[in-house]
């Protein structure tokens, strides 16, 4: 039994996320976690809300609430939506937790001991209109690299280039909108990432199995221009982890907090500590400390491409620079962007489908299937309502749902609600088993390699194989001349439903559970071989005809939703 530590990039607390956010990290991470559990492996799947920094402050101010109160409320909202989408986190934590405060301060202390933190006197943007220094995300303007007009002071979301606020063209305060900004002297702490450049490069060079998207972004940040830069890890904010050197005060840093991109990845570790504190586990260190048993852990991270630089460079710099025996990531699965119906998802304009809205109109499995089967792995992908409708109707309703309905209804009508006698397999059944054996093993290879779209395509092909067998076998015709043969065909079909439920659970867990419940199955072990799996239900085993698994999406509904989500939502 292998041990898998799985983390999803932690979402910002500021508002409800759209489907592009969901498919960029949390959903494929859940797919992988569910699959590994189904294979009998030990899994610790962690996520949390990213609650510090300017996004939280700005959103709380807009909501007219104290930032701590706002974050607590939005954590619950995000936790409920995660549950609604079937995200099987072992723990969903908070970066504002006491554990993350203490661990962030610990890392700052040991990095300082290693000579990797430097106090830097610098000038920083100050807004007289606001009466305060402006952290990077309180400043927006035009990116000097690509011309994107809503670039932030730390990074352009369009071209992913790391920026400094002074680089922005026509910069303004996001608090007051004032463009009367000036540079004033202040002091901050910097993580000396440049010292670790060669060590980080050598480590990344060992990751020959990583997606090209991941390594290309990492190497771009390592080598472009002047190479990897030292990075400020403190900010002039009230909300965040107070700057301390371990448990000791840090002279000259009074009133400052750690930069959100320093403390946020540390929450992955702190989240495991929260998991133990919540009574869900008993030893976080065996997952995170190589001196406590984490050597045999396979650690996989999931994230959108905009998060890659921080997870391939900044967080590893923190881990490596500490010179403590922390577990480093083994594999980073990064995703491109999902666009929306001819443009981009937009939180500010409410354009696109957000997680709460999605669950209002359709069950989670509809969205899970489309998002995962169209995951933006090798390039950006696009959500269109026409494609979504076609995929739901053809894949889920016509292929999987129709097979379950035809087999259970026919059996119930002709032989009663129990599995009939199977009888001997003929050439058609032997060919079916041979094809399925090859496809199931291919499905496993794609899932092991986290090739999400290929895995979805193979799963659909497995569903199609059963439909083609049923259509060719035609038990509704055979029963007229050979009832025993028809019984054998339908017994095989019922066992196929069980097999489909097990294999499909990582993608469509709710439908899978309904299939198993209808079959009266509690033991749903992963199939060691297809032939054995197709004789798992004995003759006489009772079942119920389930309600329709997937209703088709009508043209009128599609048109209504397309109009509704064109960009009218009031977003945080």
Could you read off the pLDDT of 473-498 as tens digits, one per residue? 999 999 999 999 999 999 999 999 99
143 appears as a binding residue in the annotation: yes
pLDDT given at position 174: 86
pLDDT given at position 376: 97
- The full set of domains in the chain, from first to last, is 383-533 (1.10.730.10)
Average pLDDT, the chain: 95
Strands 331-335 and 297-304: parallel
156 appears as a binding residue in the annotation: yes
pLDDT given at position 572: 39
pLDDT given at position 94: 98
CA atoms within 13 A on the CB side of 275: 23
Q: Indicate whether 108 pLDDT > 90.
A: yes
Give Cα 425 to chain centroid, integer Å.
Answer: 42
Could you read off the pLDDT of 237-264 as tens digits, one per residue? 889 999 999 999 999 999 899 999 999 9
**Residue range 89-116: average pLDDT?**
98
pTM: predicted TM-score of the whole model, two decimal places: 0.92
Tokens of residue 415, six digits: 């032989």
71 appears as a binding residue in the annotation: no
Tokens of residue 481, six digits: 């001349």
Q: Indicate whether 16 pLDDT > 70.
A: yes
pLDDT given at position 162: 83
pLDDT given at position 504: 98
Reduced to 3 states (helix: H, G, I; strand: E, B; else coil), residue 168 is coil
Distance from C-alpha of 433 to C-alpha of 431, rounded to nearest angstrom: 5
- In this predicted structure, which of 132-141, 292-301, 351-360, 405-414 has the lowest mean pLDDT? 132-141
Q: Indicate whether 157 pLDDT > 90.
A: no
**Residue range 223-249: average pLDDT?**
90
Distance from C-alpha of 178 to C-alpha of 176, rounded to nearest angstrom: 5
CA atoms within 13 A on the CB side of 21: 21
Element (H, E) at 405: helix 402-415
pLDDT given at position 138: 85
Contacts of residue 440, defined as CB under 8 A and 6 or more positions apart, other chains included, come to 462, 503, 527, 530
Tokens of residue 136, six digits: 């990077």
53 closest CA partner among 6, 10, 82: 10
Element (H, E) at 383: strand 381-383
Q: Which residue has the tokens 């369009």?
A: 158
159 appears as a binding residue in the annotation: yes
Neighbours of 229 (CB within 10 A): 16
Distance from C-alpha of 382 to C-alpha of 275, rounded to nearest angstrom: 36
Distance from C-alpha of 327 to C-alpha of 513, rounded to nearest angstrom: 35
Could you read off the pLDDT of 64-79 as tens digits, one per residue? 999 999 999 999 999 9
- Are the beta carbons of 229 and 197 closer than 8 angstroms? no
Q: What percent of the chain lies above the pLDDT cut of 70?
A: 99
Q: Indicate whether 570 pLDDT > 60.
A: no
Decide: residue 216, CB within 10 A, 0-12 exposed, 13-18 middle, 19+ buried: middle
Could you read off the pLDDT of 334-345 as tens digits, one per residue? 999 999 998 888
Tokens of residue 13, six digits: 């607390």
Cα angle, residue 263 at apex, residues 257 and 268 outer, rounded to 5°: 155
Q: Indicate whether 62 pLDDT > 90.
A: no
pLDDT given at position 124: 84
Backbone angles phi, psi at 169, to 5 degrees: -90, 130
Torsion over CA: 427, 430, 432, 435 (sign): negative
- Are the beta carbons of 9 and 17 closer than 8 angstroms? no
**Residue range 379-392: average pLDDT?**
97
pLDDT given at position 571: 43
Q: Which residue has the tokens 């610790």?
A: 44
**Residue range 523-527: average pLDDT?**
91
**Residue range 268-290: average pLDDT?**
98
**Residue range 412-421: average pLDDT?**
97
How many residues can be counted in the chain? 572
Reduced to 3 states (helix: H, G, I; strand: E, B; else coil), residue 368 is helix
């Amino acid at each position: 039994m292998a041990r898998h530590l799985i983390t999803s990039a932690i979402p910002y607390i500021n508002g409800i996320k759209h489907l592009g956010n969901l498919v960029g990290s949390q959903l494929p991470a859940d797919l992988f976690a569910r699959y590994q559990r189904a294979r009998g492996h030990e899994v610790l799947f962690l996520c949390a809300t990213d609650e510090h920094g300017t996004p939280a402050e700005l959103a709380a101010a807009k909501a007219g609430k104290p930032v701590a109160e706002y974050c607590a409320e939005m954590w619950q909202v995000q936790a409920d939506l995660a549950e609604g989408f079937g995200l099987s986190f072992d723990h969903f934590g908070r970066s504002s937790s006491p554990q993350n405060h203490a661990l962030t301060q610990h890392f700052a202390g040991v990095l300082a001991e290693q000579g990797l933190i430097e106090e830097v006197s610098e000038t920083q943007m100050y807004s007289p209109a606001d009466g305060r220094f402006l952290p990077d995300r309180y400043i927006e303007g035009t990116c000097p690299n690509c011309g994107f007009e809503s670039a932030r002071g730390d990074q352009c979301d369009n071209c992913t280039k790391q920026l400094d606020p002074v680089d922005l063209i026509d910069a303004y305060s996001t608090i007051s909108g004032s463009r009367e900004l000036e540079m004033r002297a202040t002091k901050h702490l910097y993580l000396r990432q440049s010292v670790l450049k060669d060590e980080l490069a050598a480590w990344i060079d060992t990751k020959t199995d990583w997606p090209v998207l991941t390594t290309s972004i990492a190497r771009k940040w390592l080598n472009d221009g002047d190479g990897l830069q030292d990075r400020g890890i403190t900010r002039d904010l009230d909300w965040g982890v107070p700057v301390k050197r371990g448990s000791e005060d840090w002279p000259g840093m009074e009133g400052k907090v750690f930069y959100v991109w320093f403390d946020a990845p540390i929450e992955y570790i702190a989240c495991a500590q929260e998991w133990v504190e919540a009574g869900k586990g008993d030893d976080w260190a065996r997952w995170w400390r190589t001196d406590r048993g984490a050597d045999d852990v396979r650690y996989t991270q999931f994230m959108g491409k905009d998060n890659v630089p921080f997870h391939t460079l900044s967080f590893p710099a923190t881990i490596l620079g500490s010179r403590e025996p922390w577990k480093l990531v083994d594999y980073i699965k990064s995703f491109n962007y999902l666009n929306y119906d001819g443009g981009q998802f937009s939180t500010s304009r409410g354009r696109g489908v957000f997680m709460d809205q999605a669950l209002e109109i359709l069950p989670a499995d509809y969205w899970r299937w489309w998002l995962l089967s169209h995951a933006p792995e090798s390039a950006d992908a696009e959500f269109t309502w026409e494609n979504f409708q076609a995929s739901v109707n053809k894949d889920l309703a016509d292929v999987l749902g129709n097979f379950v309905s035809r087999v259970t209804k026919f059996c119930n009508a002709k032989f009663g609600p129990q599995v009939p006698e199977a009888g001997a397999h003929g050439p058609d059944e032997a060919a079916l088993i041979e094809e399925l054996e090859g496809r199931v093993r291919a499905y496993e290879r794609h899932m092991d390699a986290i090739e999400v779209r290929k895995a979805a395509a193979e799963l659909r092909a497995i569903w199609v194989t059963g439909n083609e067998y049923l259509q060719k076998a035609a038990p509704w015709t055979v029963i007229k001349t050979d009832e025993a043969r028809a019984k054998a065909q339908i017994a095989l079909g019922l066992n196929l439903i069980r097999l489909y439920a097990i294999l499909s659970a990582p993608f469509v867990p709710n439908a899978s559970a309904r299939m198993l419940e209808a079959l009266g199955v509690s033991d749903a072990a992963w199939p060691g071989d297809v032939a054995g799996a197709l004789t798992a239900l004995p003759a006489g085993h009772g079942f119920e005809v389930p309600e329709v698994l997937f209703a088709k999406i009508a043209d009128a509904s599609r048109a209504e939703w397309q109009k509704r989500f064109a960009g009218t939502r009031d977003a945080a």
